[in-house]
Structure 1
Amino acid sequence: MRGRRARWWVAFGTIAFGAVFLVVGLILAGVSVSFLANAERAQGTVVTLEWRSDSGGSSRKSRGSNEPTAYPVVEFTSKDGTPRTFRGSTGSNPPSYDKGERVEVLYRADSPEDARINGFASLWLLPLIFGGIGLVIGGIGTAVALVGRRRS
């Protein structure tokens, strides 16, 4: 009886943990969809690459990589004619963009400083990561629950 109850709590906890990740992923996807629905489009140019090291976190060191990451700095002109500059939210090494490269920029008309490069990583990477982790962990919890149920 004790093992069955412990297995139930493990399954329940795992499913709940996965559900939290899945909900966060769905919320982030909703934010991206809302952003896309109301976004203005403009052509921009990568004016420079901002190289940053993650000196504060131990996660990069634990992966064995302490190389800097390149974030694109993009300049575009909003609909009102004002030139604007922003740093992309997603960095990579090797860089995803080259200096001088033309990119499509999405921005909110009511707050043009809220701009993103129209690319998969900047719009969908976080929702995909959180949703994927949630599905995997929730699936594991569900499998544990089903196996435990069949054994009893």
Structure 2
Amino acid sequence: MKKTKAALWMFVIVGVLLLVSAVVVYSQRVTELSTMIPADGTVVAMSDKGCLTVQFKTFENRPVQFGGNVCQRPPAYDLEERVPVLYSPQNPNNAYIDDITHKWFFSIAMGGMALGFLGIGGVFVWVVTLNGWRAERRMNRLKMTGRQLNALLMGAERDETINLNGQNPWRIVAQWLDPNTNQVRLFYSKHFWFDPSPYLTGKHIQVWIDPQRPQHYCIDTDILPKLA
């Protein structure tokens, strides 16, 4: 379980790093573009992968060719099509096609991946945290307002309905005979990722149950140690 939580947190961490990288790349590109000047270019070559080669003339009328930094299929422009260009006066070979894709591709790509990682990791971390918080809140409420039962301790068993990384968690099992209906009720504790059997003492264990909603209950597991 801890490995699963760690993996989920890794999604969040990777997402944050990608988002920071996207912001840094965006800021650097904004600074770079602020020093560039526009020109009219023409697509003079195109590879099978949709990579463009563009030619333009500087304000000194010097011809310059550069490769587009984004390859697309189908290509965004046709051969010999005119395209807007931005270039650095100090280094004309440092040039971009003046459109959203070619100027902001890396920022958009990293930002999209960041949102994906943050979305996946964040949702699952939130669900795991929220479920844990709800379970603890329900247990505290039942201890204050629920009916306390002295249930017969049956021991601990593996819950084979749950499998994480090839392992099944443990749970405590208890039963109680309802004198009003002469029916036996089974109670199952929350899951543990260690065998709690050696730490269970006595023949009985406390259970709190909601009289109005008997399916809501909790077993007293405070007697158990915490997993390091």
Aligned residues: 132
Q: Secondary structure at the match of 2:93?
A: strand
Shift of 1:83: 1.3
Unpaired runs of at least 5, structure 2: 133-228
Shift of 1:106: 0.3
Using the size of structure 1 for normalisation, the TM-score is 0.78
Among residues 93, 117, 137, which one is paired with 1:113 in the alignment?
A: 93
Distance 2:124 2:4 in 1: 8
Shift of 1:7: 4.3
Shift of 1:71: 1.8
Aligned to 1:130: 110
Distance 2:51 2:113 in 1: 25
Shift of 1:18: 0.9
Aligned to 1:40: 37
Q: Secondary structure at the match of 2:64?
A: strand
Shift of 1:27: 2.0
Residues 41-99 of structure 1, C-alpha deviation per residue, up to 9 Å, x if partnerless?
Answer: 111111222x1xxxxxxxxxxxxxxxx31222111111222111111111222222112
Aligned to 2:18: 21
**Identical counterparts, % of pairs:** 27
Going from structure 1 to structure 2, the CA distance change for 1:147 and 1:107 (only over 3 Å counts) comes to same
Distance 1:141 1:121 in 2: 28
Distance 1:119 1:149 in 2: 43
Distance 1:127 1:43 in 2: 25
1:62-141 to structure 2, matched below 5 A, reads 68-141=48-121
Shift of 1:10: 2.5
For residue 92 of structure 2, what is the amino acid of its counterpart?
A: P
Following TM superposition, the consecutive aligned residue runs of length 4 or more in structure 1 with deviations greater than 3 angstroms are: 5-8
Using the size of structure 2 for normalisation, the TM-score is 0.54
Unpaired runs of at least 5, structure 1: 52-67
* Relative contact order, higher structure (CA 8 A, sep 6+): 1
Residues 76-128 of structure 1, C-alpha deviation per residue, up to 9 Å, x if partnerless?
Answer: 11122211111111122222211221111101111111011101211112211
Q: Which has the higher helix share?
A: 1
Flag the structure with larger Rg: 2
Aligned to 2:174: none
